[in-house]
């Protein structure tokens, strides 16, 4: 295949950031990411079509397929294949190398590919989207617990995170588990986990009561420390956050270990971004829902392609958005602005869409920006009119 100049720039970055891959694996990943961005799709035929300017159909097709295969399934059987799990710490270090800040929000969730596979994913939440940094692909509609796999994903990411960083881990009530709570705290991170609204809570110095009784209705929030749950085996000291915004049908019931005076009652709103991240992986961005891959190891390797492509697109979109905010052309904004970003108005175009448009434009022009960064915005603040009650222990 013919190697265009912008491909060399992309390959050099992947080789630097994912050193655990063999050189041939790095080159294969570069071709996949390059083709996925041009095609705006992870579907094999779409990627091959986007790469026809650099090679023939059958040659490109075989090259891309070989990268996804296990070693014994390659045209020349061998004992090596892309080890996706080994890339997770390096992938998170890549995000953090471009990260401007000390606060990081991670979300744990699952998404399905029809009736074929389910992906358990840990993602970095960023500017209305999410970057997958660890995942496990499982066959769909099969019995079995997920928690052990989720705990392993978090353990794989731990070496990449500095103890000086403030790490918030969010999960919906379907993934609530005492084991997840303990693992997050053992790592020095902060859980913010949603629990079912039939739970009970005993505030410090008060009586045990249903959690929903702590707020009178929409437009109110309550925060306080105490003992969650009634039965002794699952009891735990925690900070309870009950938020019932005026536009919500039901309140958020959340447990965390952050002190009541330090917790943001609307921080759980960040978890919505992982849903928007899944949307970027599917219809808005990479069309994962249309791929016909069903073998979990091959799907897991295709997710590495999606993760790297999403990372690159969001970093490019950050530079474009920051340039627009400062009133300069994106090509001239070559360093991260010292003024921290704020979010005062609703975005008309997402950071993901901005980045995808500009990155494809650059690839067609034969270059990509060398200087990229992630500038996280402040975490959500309570909306105007929300009546907040903070319980202080006697």
**Of the residues 82, 114, 143, the one at which a domain ends:** 82
Dihedral sign for Cα atoms in the order 267, 270, 272, 275: negative
CATH at 322: 3.30.420
- Residues 6+ positions from 101 with CB-CB distance below 8 Å: 375, 376
Residue 174 lies in a domain: yes
Residue 365 DSSP one-character state: H
- CB neighbour burial string for 41-70, b if at least 16 within 10 angstroms, e if fewer: bbbbebbbbbbeebeeeeebbebbeebbbb
Residues 363 and 281 in one domain: yes
**Gap between the Cα atoms of 32 and 109, Å rounded:** 25
Are 5 and 367 within 8 A, CB to CB?
yes
344 has pLDDT over 70: no
Residues 136 and 48 in one domain: no
Q: What angle do CA 21, 24, 27 make, to 5 degrees?
A: 90
Are 277 and 131 within 8 A, CB to CB?
yes
Residue 165 lies in a domain: yes
343 has pLDDT over 70: no
Q: Where are the beta strands (DSSP E) in 153-269?
A: 166-171, 190-194, 200-203, 209-210, 220-228, 236-244, 252-256
- Say what the pTM is: 0.94
Residues 133 and 188 in one domain: yes
pLDDT attached to residue 105: 97
**Gap between the Cα atoms of 54 and 5, Å rounded:** 12
What is the extent of the structural domain holding 11?
1-82
Following CA atoms 318, 319, 322, 324 in sequence, which dihedral angle do they give, to the nearest 10 degrees? -110
**Gap between the Cα atoms of 324 and 318, Å rounded:** 10
Q: Provide the percentage of residues in the chain whose pLDDT is more than 90.
A: 78
245-254: per-residue pLDDT in tens?
Answer: 988 889 999 9
> Tokens 């997710």, residue?
303
pLDDT attached to residue 277: 95
H helices then E strands: how many in the chain?
10, 11
103-113 vs 166-171, strand pairing mode: parallel
Are 288 and 117 within 8 A, CB to CB?
no
Of the pLDDT bands very low, low, confident and very high (cuts 50, 70, 90), residue 187 is very high
Residues 288 and 182 in one domain: yes
Residues 292 and 146 in one domain: yes
- CB neighbour burial string for 204-241, b if at least 16 within 10 angstroms, e if fewer: eeeeeeebbebbeeeebbbbbbbbbbeeeeeeeebbbb
**Of the residues 82, 111, 132, the one at which a domain ends:** 82
Residues 119 and 188 in one domain: yes
Residue 318 lies in a domain: yes
Are 257 and 268 within 8 A, CB to CB?
no
391 has pLDDT over 90: no
Residues 177 and 274 in one domain: yes
Residue 238 lies in a domain: no
Residues 114 and 73 in one domain: no
Residues 184 and 295 in one domain: yes
Residues 9 and 104 in one domain: no
Reading the block at residue 125, the tokens are 């939440």
Residue 206 lies in a domain: no
Residue 156 lies in a domain: yes
**Gap between the Cα atoms of 133 and 109, Å rounded:** 12
1 has pLDDT over 70: no
Reading the block at residue 5, the tokens are 């100049």
Residues 71 and 188 in one domain: no
Average pLDDT over residues 340-351: 75
189-211: per-residue pLDDT in tens?
Answer: 999 999 998 999 999 988 999 99
Residue 235 lies in a domain: no
CA distances to 160, 219, 241, 251 from 384, in Å = 37, 10, 18, 17
Q: Provide the percentage of residues in the chain whose pLDDT is more than 70.
A: 98
Residue 226 lies in a domain: no
pLDDT attached to residue 309: 98
22-45: per-residue pLDDT in tens?
Answer: 999 999 999 999 999 999 999 999
342 has pLDDT over 70: no
Are 119 and 113 within 8 A, CB to CB?
yes
Range with lowest mean pLDDT among 106-110, 190-194, 345-349, 385-389? 345-349
**Of the residues 82, 115, 138, the one at which a domain ends:** 82
4 has pLDDT over 60: yes
116-149: per-residue pLDDT in tens?
Answer: 999 999 999 999 999 999 999 999 888 888 999 9
68-81: per-residue pLDDT in tens?
Answer: 998 887 877 877 89
Tally the domains of the chain: 2
341 has pLDDT over 80: no
Of the pLDDT bands very low, low, confident and very high (cuts 50, 70, 90), residue 234 is confident
297-327: per-residue pLDDT in tens?
Answer: 999 999 999 999 999 999 999 999 999 888 8
pLDDT attached to residue 345: 62
Residues 266 and 189 in one domain: yes
CA distances to 86, 332, 336, 352 from 101, in Å = 25, 23, 12, 20
């Amino acid at each position: 295949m013919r190697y265009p100049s912008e491909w060399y720039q992309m390959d050099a970055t992947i080789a630097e950031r994912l050193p655990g891959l063999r050189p041939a694996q790095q080159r294969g990943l570069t071709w996949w990411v390059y083709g996925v961005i041009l095609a705006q799709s992870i579907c094999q035929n779409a990627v091959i079509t986007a790469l026809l300017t650099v090679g023939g159909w059958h040659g490109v097709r075989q090259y891309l397929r070989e990268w996804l295969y296990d070693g014994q399934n390659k045209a020349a059987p061998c004992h090596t294949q892309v080890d996706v799990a080994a890339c997770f710490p390096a992938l998170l270090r890549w995000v953090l190398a471009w990260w401007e800040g000390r606060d990081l929000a991670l979300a744990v969730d699952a998404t399905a590919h029809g009736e074929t596979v389910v992906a358990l994913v840990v993602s970095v939440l960023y500017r209305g989207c999410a970057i997958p940094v660890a995942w496990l692909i499982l066959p769909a509609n099969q019995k079995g617990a997920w928690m052990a796999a989720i705990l392993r994903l978090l353990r794989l990411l731990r070496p990449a995170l500095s103890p000086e960083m403030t790490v918030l881990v969010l999960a919906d009530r379907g993934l609530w588990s005492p084991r997840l709570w303990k693992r997050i705290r053992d790592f020095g991170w902060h859980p913010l986990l949603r629990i079912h609204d039939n739970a009970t809570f005993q505030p410090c110095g008060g009586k045990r009561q249903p959690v929903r009784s702590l707020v009178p209705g929409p437009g109110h929030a309550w925060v306080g420390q105490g003992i969650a749950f009634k039965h002794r085996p699952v009891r735990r000291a925690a900070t309870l956050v009950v938020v019932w915004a005026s536009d919500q049908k039901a309140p958020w019931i959340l447990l965390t270990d952050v002190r009541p005076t330090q917790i943001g009652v609307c921080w759980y709103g960040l978890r919505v971004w992982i849903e928007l991240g899944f949307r970027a992986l599917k219809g808005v961005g990479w069309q994962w829902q249309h791929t016909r891959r069903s073998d979990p190891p091959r799907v897991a390797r295709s997710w590495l392609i999606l993760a790297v492509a999403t990372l690159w697109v969001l970093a490019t979109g950050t530079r474009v958005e920051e340039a627009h905010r400062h009133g300069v052309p994106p090509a001239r904004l070559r360093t991260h602005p010292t003024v921290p970003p704020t979010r005062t108005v609703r975005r008309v175009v997402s950071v993901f869409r901005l980045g995808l448009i500009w990155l494809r434009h650059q690839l067609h022009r034969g270059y990509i920006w060398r200087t990229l960064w992630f500038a996280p915005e402040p975490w959500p603040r309570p909306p105007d009119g929300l009546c907040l009650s903070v319980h202080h222990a006697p």
